[in-house]
């Protein structure tokens, strides 16, 4: 692995994969790192993509399992409310992530799985779990809601919702996303998203109520079984934090190293904003730096840590 790449990308979720591919396409030497042994698994997503992202994301057709045309909102004690023309896709998120990661792996100088970023020093030097030390000009933190790169520049998601989700057999075809709002779901809501032969059934709550995730999700599951909408078998579990506190400052610096945050590391539009972050990081200016490589358009200059 080269010790002083132009750009190090941490995390090969959708944000990191798109950032890495964009930066490599702009001519930078990019090292991309992912702590898991493969991209996109386990899936931590309800797999719904709103139609408005169709223009921004390529290749969605190949990973679409079914389309959605409306949303039903169920507020406790009231009849369900239907929102028509609520269009989107239920995708195979594992396949989506794998395609993006594969494209990134093809484009970058070096792509490693099973290697975690352990620490970032105040001068931007990155220490990996396998003992490797990297000195990038640009560090892109696409390492999710609890980003180490974000922490290094003082940008941390402090408002998070905790989630639990199960996949269950779908008994009756459905073309809507259902949202459940109840007084006993503090700071969150339940969801039921159909995906072909299965459905993703989940619940998000504020962290102090995380002990309620399992019993409340079990109850929602039993309710839908009783209504004949889903089977009682649980096919898989997932979960994870979702940032809800709004956008963080996505650009910072550690001495000479520019730090950019993408995706859930600096929440915005996680599946789409990464390539624009990377492009702005990596866009060559007409001028060249002293070593002949493209100058950094977003270079904020030295920032003391």
Window of 20-28, 76-84, 136-144, 182-190 that interacts with ligand FAD by CB under 6 A: 136-144
- 48 is a contact residue toward ligand FAD (CB under 6 A): yes
The span from the first CA to the last CA of the chain, in angstroms, equals 26
Helices (H), 26-144: 60-63, 93-107
Q: Is the dihedral of CA 10, 15, 18, 19 positive or negative?
A: negative
**How far is the C-alpha of 260 from the C-alpha of 141, rounded, in Å?**
6
Residue 178 binds to ligand FAD (criterion: CB under 6 A): no
Q: Do the Cβ atoms of 129 and 36 come closer than 8 Å?
A: no
Instruction: Kindly state the DSSP code that residue 283 receives in the 8-state scheme.
Output: P
> Binding ligand FAD by CB under 6 A: which of 8, 71, 108, 117?
117
Task: Name the one range near ligand FAD by CB under 6 A: 30-38, 62-70, 245-253, 279-287.
Answer: 30-38
| Selected range binding ligand FAD among 47-55, 132-140, 152-160, 166-174, rule: CB under 6 A | 47-55
Nearest distance from C-beta of residue 285 to ligand FAD, angstroms: 27
CB 123 within 8 A of CB 83: no
Cβ 162 to ligand FAD shortest distance, Å: 9
Residue 266 binds ligand FAD (CB under 6 A): no
How far apart CA 70 and CA 304 sit, in angstroms, is 50
From residue 180, how far is each of 91, 190, 238, 289, 301 by CA, in Å?
21, 5, 19, 55, 48
Applying the rule CB under 6 A, the residues between 75 and 114 that interact with ligand FAD are none
Please, are residues 128 and 45 in contact by the beta-carbon 8 Å criterion? no
∠ CA 157-181-268, rounded to 5°: 30
Residue 270 in contact with ligand FAD, rule: CB under 6 A: yes
Residue from 5, 190, 194, 240 binding ligand FAD (CB under 6 A): 240
Q: Is 242 in the site for ligand FAD (CB under 6 A)?
A: yes
x/- contact string, 205-234, with ligand FAD (CB under 6 A)? ------------------------------
- Determine, following the binding rule CB under 6 A, whether residue 180 of this chain makes contact with ligand FAD: no
Site for ligand FAD in 137-166 (CB under 6 A): 142-144, 148, 163, 165
Please, what's the b/e burial string for 133-146 (b: 16 or more CB within 10 A of its CB; e: otherwise)? ebbbbbbbbbbbbe
The answer to whether residue 14 forms part of the interface with ligand FAD (CB under 6 A) is: yes
Is residue 192 a contact point for ligand FAD (CB under 6 A)?
no
Chain residues binding ligand FAD by CB under 6 A are: 10-16, 33-36, 44-49, 116-117, 142-144, 148, 163, 165, 202, 238-240, 242, 263-264, 270-271
């Amino acid at each position: 692995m080269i010790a002083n790449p132009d750009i190090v990308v941490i995390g090969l979720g959708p944000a990191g994969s798109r950032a890495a591919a964009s930066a490599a396409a702009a001519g930078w030497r990019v090292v991309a790192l992912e702590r898991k042994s493969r991209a996109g698994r386990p899936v931590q997503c309800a797999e719904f993509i709103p139609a408005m992202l169709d223009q921004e994301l390529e290749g969605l057709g190949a990973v679409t399992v079914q389309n959605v045309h409306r949303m039903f909102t169920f507020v406790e004690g009231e009849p369900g409310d239907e929102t028509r023309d609520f269009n989107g896709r239920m995708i195979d998120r594992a396949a989506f992530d794998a395609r993006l990661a594969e494209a990134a792996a093809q484009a970058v100088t070096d792509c490693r799985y099973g290697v975690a970023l352990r620490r970032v020093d105040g001068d931007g030097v990155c220490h990996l779990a396998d003992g490797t030390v990297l000195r990038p000009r640009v560090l892109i933190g696409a390492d999710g809601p609890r980003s180490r790169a974000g922490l290094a520049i003082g940008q941390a998601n402090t408002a998070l919702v905790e989630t639990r989700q199960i996949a269950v057999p779908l008994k009756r075809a459905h073309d809507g996303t259902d949202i459940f709002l109840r007084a006993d779901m503090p700071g969150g809501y339940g969801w039921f998203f159909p995906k072909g032969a299965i459905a993703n059934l989940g619940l998000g709550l504020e962290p102090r109520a995380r002990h309620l995730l399992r019993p409340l999700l079990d109850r929602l599951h039993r309710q839908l079984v009783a209504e004949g909408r889903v089977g009682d078998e649980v096919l898989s579990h997932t979960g994870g934090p979702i940032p809800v506190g709004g956008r963080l400052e996505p650009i910072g610096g550690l001495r000479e190293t520019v730090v950019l945050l993408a995706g859930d590391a600096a929440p915005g539009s996680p599946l789409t904003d990464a390539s624009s972050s990377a492009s702005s990081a990596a866009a060559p200016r007409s001028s060249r730096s002293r070593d002949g490589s493209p100058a950094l358009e977003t270079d904020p200059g030295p920032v003391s840590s």
